[in-house]
Structure 1
Amino acid sequence: MKTYSGFAIVVSFFGLWMDSYFSTKIQVISGFLLILSFGILHGANDLQLINKIDVVKHKNSALRILVYYIVVVLMGILLFYIFPLAALLSFIVVSAYHFGEQQWQKLSNTLPMWSLILYQFLYGFTVLFLLFVFNWNQVQNIIFNITKFKIPVGYFLESLKVSGIAYICLSSYLYMKILKIRKKILLELFHLIVFTIIFKSSSLIWGFAIYFVVWHSIPSIIDQIKFLDGTVSKENFLSYCKAAGVYWFVSMLGITFIYIVFKEEQLFNAVFFSFLAAITFPHAFVITKMFGKKNN
């Protein structure tokens, strides 16, 4: 993953360089295309992961798993419709932990469970609020369209300060206590600086797309392929895409429907991120189970 980290940094700054040549409209279109490709793909193979995790097979288990998964997604969408503010806060919490878990999965056998969860959450929360602070006006409008609440910009800044200071303090403690993760801690602090530059220099959708695809989705796909097939290869990647293809296509149909109904940009952004949140809830749970089985 050290090699991939260098690749991700190069791709990220190439994305920022391309950003200077893109109009705002092109940035939005390109950002959504990236999110809809690798971003959605990385969560489209959850059912195969569940089958690998659950070694005890039952009659019609594949159908039961599919039904349960769809029900969870629909419940997430319903939650955004009935209790949008609670749903949005839940999405932020789950996403923060999910992002942090991806970056810090190998700490599972090093730290007590409570401190591991806290550390992963603080990392992801800091990344999210770096994005929010540097794009507060767009984020504020999206939140208002989802919840009808206008969140003061000071809330974003204070949340970033609290999470950032807490993360740095905990990192400093772990740096002194655990020798073997010192390089990883310094590397991730450097990554946060990279994310700061990306989010400050780009629009909301383009900055989020770079992080979500390059730093989260592709590493997640790599981990999933290793879990399913043992090694990453062209053949295993194509097999992964084939297995995920049906669910990816269904997701595309859902997003296309959303676009047709909500063509106005701010409304579409709000509904799109609500849909993304609904499919994130079960996906984050599946990935947590995958890392747990992998580490055990």
Structure 2
Amino acid sequence: MNKRNIIFTCISIILLSFFPWINSLHSDMQVNLSIICILFLGIPHGAIDHILYEKQEKRFSTLRFNTIYLGLMAVYLVFWILFPTPSLIAFLILSSYHFGQSQFSDLPNSTDASHNFLALSWGMVLLSGLVLFNLSEVVQLFEESETLASSSFIFQHDVFLLIFVLSLSLTVLLLLFHLKKKRIGVKRLFTEVFILSLLLAIFYFLPLLIAFTIYFTIWHSCRVLYEEYEFLAQKIADFSFQKFIKLLFPYSAISICFSIVGIMVLRSDVIGISNILLILIFLSILTLPHTFVIYLFYKSFYKKEELT
């Protein structure tokens, strides 16, 4: 286990050990803590997508990049309006792949079919476990939205239990396949099993929003930020942590400000759309183009560490 994973593990275990106190927090406090963490740790990891793409493309065009990036967001927004249930399912699948994508970014041949299936199956274990362990809370959230109430049928215990078992089995088989192909070592195999078990324990013992926030900010966003820093350090002369913060700041600040305004609007009930629907739409339209950029990023750069 590398130093980064050791740090993430220690933080997660400490937070998990406080689960009685965390569970006793008022729901508003849980929401506020999660919002703060996601705004200041989650949002920045996607704030330099344009820079990551620019460093990979010799003929980079800001206009072309922004057109495609914003175009994908607009198309997905239209799909949400016209087809909310299929859009929700697509978001869950896309998020599953994206989470697994970052978890195994450092594997050799990181863009072949077996790696992509491993990324998808690992992410599906994660999200299906999150839903399965907090099913009543998830269903309640969706039933509060008139638009998404019809989509609540998706969240059936037997369905998500089946998805969880099948995706977990596939993940184990694919990890063994990568072990056989010598893309990972025995230590890495047990490390991945331990990390997945730890995350599922967090999902089981902690409230839905807190559990997701711990994963998203610590295990996903911080990991991606670390890789982005490594990548840019290879591309930019005399690169430093201060320069990295300066690159992250502009779009992070803009996104955080817009998010705060959006949260204020949601809490004032000015518009007649449920909070959960707007949050899902906001997250999904950001995730779609970001996933493509990160895919290209990992295609050109992934850590070639010794097998552990």
Could you state the TM-score of these two structures normalised by the residue count of structure 2?
Answer: 0.85
Deviation digits for residues 52-99 of structure 1 (CA, Å, limit 9, x no counterpart): 111224xxx223322332222232223222211121111111111111
For residue 38 of structure 1, report the CA deviation from its aligned partner: 1.0
Gaps of 5+ in 1: none
Structure 1 stretch displaced more, 189-198 or 138-147: 138-147
Deviation digits for residues 34-56 of structure 1 (CA, Å, limit 9, x no counterpart): 11111111011111111111122
Question: Residue 143 and residue 285 in structure 1: after superposition, are their counterparts in 2 closer, same or farther (change >3 A)?
Answer: farther
CA distance in 2, matches of 1:241, 1:77: 30
Partner of 2:64: 64
Partner of 2:276: 269
Query: Whose helix proportion is higher, 1 or 2?
Result: 1
Partner of 2:95: 95
Maintained 8 Å contact 2:108/2:183 = no
Maintained 8 Å contact 1:136/1:156 = no
Alignment of 1:195-274 (within 5 A): 195-230=199-234, 236-263=240-267, 267-274=274-281
Partner of 2:286: 279
CA distance in 1, matches of 2:235, 2:68: 29
Partner of 1:150: 152
For residue 180 of structure 1, report the CA deviation from its aligned partner: 4.2
Structure 1 counterpart of 2:296, from 286, 289, 293: 289
CA distance in 2, matches of 1:119, 1:32: 30
Amino acid at match of 1:46: D
Structure 2 counterpart of 1:185, from 186, 189, 193: 189
For residue 179 of structure 1, report the CA deviation from its aligned partner: 7.1
> Does 2:130 match 1:131?
yes
For residue 186 of structure 1, report the CA deviation from its aligned partner: 1.3
Gaps of 5+ in 2: none
Aligned with 1:109: secondary structure?
coil
Structure 1 stretch displaced more, 62-71 or 85-94: 62-71
Alignment of 1:26-37 (within 5 A): 26-37=29-40
For residue 18 of structure 1, report the CA deviation from its aligned partner: 4.3
**What is the CA RMSD across the aligned residues, in angstroms?**
2.7
Q: Percent identity?
A: 25
Structure 2 counterpart of 1:52, from 49, 52, 55: 55
Maintained 8 Å contact 2:109/2:115 = no
> Does 2:123 match 1:116?
no
> Does 2:38 match 1:39?
no
CA distance in 2, matches of 1:242, 1:81: 36
Aligned with 1:56: secondary structure?
coil
CA distance in 1, matches of 2:226, 2:46: 12
For residue 231 of structure 1, report the CA deviation from its aligned partner: 9.4
Amino acid at match of 1:9: T
CA distance in 2, matches of 1:74, 1:18: 41
Amino acid at match of 1:120: A
CA distance in 2, matches of 1:76, 1:128: 21
Aligned length: 291
Aligned with 2:106: secondary structure?
helix
Partner of 1:2: 2
Question: Residue 53 and residue 231 in structure 1: after superposition, are their counterparts in 2 closer, same or farther (change >3 A)?
Answer: closer
> Does 2:198 match 1:194?
yes
For residue 246 of structure 1, report the CA deviation from its aligned partner: 2.4
Partner of 1:82: 82
CA distance in 2, matches of 1:47, 1:191: 31
